[in-house]
Amino acid sequence: MEDELSTVFKALGHPIRRRILDILKDSPKTTGELNNYFPEVTRYAIMKHLSLLVEGNLVVVRREGKYRRNFLNAVPLQKMHNRWIGKYMQSAANSLLNLQSVVEKTGGELDMKVSNQDQSQVFKIEQEVLIDAPREQVFKALTERAGDWWEFRLAPKGVPSEFTFQPVPGGQFTEKWGENQGAVWGNVYYVNAPEEIRLHGHLGMQGAVNSSYTYRLVEKEGSTVLQLSHHASGIIQENWEQEHSEGWKYLLGTLLKNYLEQNRSSK
């Protein structure tokens, strides 16, 4: 943990690297696009800055065709927040991160008010979390045991609900309450257990939206790097990308990670 924090602090120690994170917060960029923001800096220098940010796990690189696109990974920043700030203002911090509060206020649906000027948009969320648990256990927790740690609910406030997740092609990730009430969080369309699973799912978004998310699990010295990709397109409300990015950080970087690592340490 200390070594990880030291690497993050080192990555944040230069104003250009902090500015790169500010730029990537708005949208992912290729190295060439980032270089255009710093006309006084060479491309080689930008690549060195990016390398340190990748080393600190603050930037995730994905190849799209012939381009390498850089995405902000805010999970390490959230871990710093939890350690240095969250313990002093835990309730306030959690309320900002918890997408559930947004869902509860609307009785299970995110309010969508669209004017005639709204146009189709796209957002892409890429995050990574290092979990101290074997890949098979992480995959099982993501799927068959999702109900043990998945905190967000679409059920009306105060109504208990249960989750089921079928990690097979055509399977569903569902939440059910009452006798015949419930919601589908995702429909499985690709499985390569325990390495990858892909789902279509609105995840609380309503209306003309196409949304899909993917879990990829990479073994790393007895631990697992969980890579999340969430892509959505359609009539996207302005705050949805930020809310879902923060929601994923809380779900995977806090709830799932703690669920697996605490269970492992107690054995």
| pTM above threshold 0.75 | no
Distances (CA, A) of 65 to 30, 60, 187: 12, 16, 27
CATH 1.10.10.10 fits 2-72, yes or no: yes
Q: Which pLDDT value is given to residue 68?
A: 86
**R_g of the chain, CA atoms, integer Å:** 19
Q: Which pLDDT value is given to residue 116?
A: 39
Neighbours of 180 (CB within 10 A): 6
Distance CA 46, CA 69 (A): 14
| Sequence spans of domains, the chain | 2-72, 112-266
Q: Nearest 10 degrees: CA dihedral of 68, 71, 75, 78?
A: 150
Q: Which pLDDT value is given to residue 117?
A: 41
Topology agreement, domain 2-72 and domain 112-266: no
Q: Which parts of the chain are beta strand (E)? A: 29-30, 59-64, 67-72, 121-131, 162-165, 172-177, 181-192, 196-200, 209-220, 223-234
Digit-by-digit pLDDT tens for the chain (267 residues) are 556 777 888 888 888 999 999 899 888 899 999 999 998 889 999 999 999 999 888 999 888 888 888 998 887 877 776 665 555 444 444 444 455 555 555 555 544 443 434 445 889 999 999 999 999 999 999 999 999 999 999 999 899 999 999 999 999 999 999 988 999 999 999 999 999 999 999 888 888 788 999 999 999 998 999 999 999 988 888 889 999 999 999 999 999 999 999 877 665
Q: Which pLDDT value is given to residue 119?
A: 46
Q: Which helix (H) or strand (E) element contains residue 9?
A: helix 2-11
Q: Which pLDDT value is given to residue 235?
A: 83
Residue 205: DSSP 8-state? -
Distance CA 166, CA 173 (A): 6
Assigned CATH class of 112-266:
alpha beta
Q: Which pLDDT value is given to residue 85?
A: 52
Residue 156: DSSP 8-state? P
Q: Which pLDDT value is given to residue 9?
A: 84
